[in-house]
Amino acid sequence: MNPGQRSGPDRATGTAKSFQPELILGHSDDWWRDCAERAITQCATTGEPFSADTLIDMGVPEPDVPQRWGSLLSTFHRRGLIEQVGFKTSPRQTRQGGVIRVWRGVRGEPS
């Protein structure tokens, strides 16, 4: 099993293992991660809804494994930078009608 993946309870302790998307990202290509992070930051600042498909349309290449999208977006969510606002069916052939999350940047408190 790859680091960061979900699994059942730890056999030794019987407690649930926690999902850590940052571990999956730690094994990603630095260039891809930089491109994707910049695109997410740009989308988040607009306040408009976006998805992984939006990032691809902006020119971010597909990662080596598709799960990196979820890990990266989940990491931004856990940091409080984006929030989930819904779901949609992906129009991409590679997704075969799969459902993806839709996100929006979280506006900071006015100073």
Res. 27 pLDDT band, cuts 50 70 90: low
Q: pLDDT tens digits for 30-54?
A: 899 999 999 999 999 999 999 999 9
Q: Name the 3-class secondary structure at 99.
A: strand
Task: Tally the domains of the chain.
Answer: 1
Res. 6 pLDDT band, cuts 50 70 90: very low
Would you say residue 11 lies in a domain?
no
Q: pLDDT tens digits for 65-83?
A: 888 899 999 999 999 999 9
Would you say residue 84 lies in a domain?
yes
Would you say residue 16 lies in a domain?
no
Would you say residue 110 lies in a domain?
no
State if pTM tops 0.75. Answer: no
Q: Is 58 exposed, middle or buried (0-12, 13-18, 19+ CB in 10 A)?
A: middle
User: Domain range for residue 87?
Assistant: 22-105
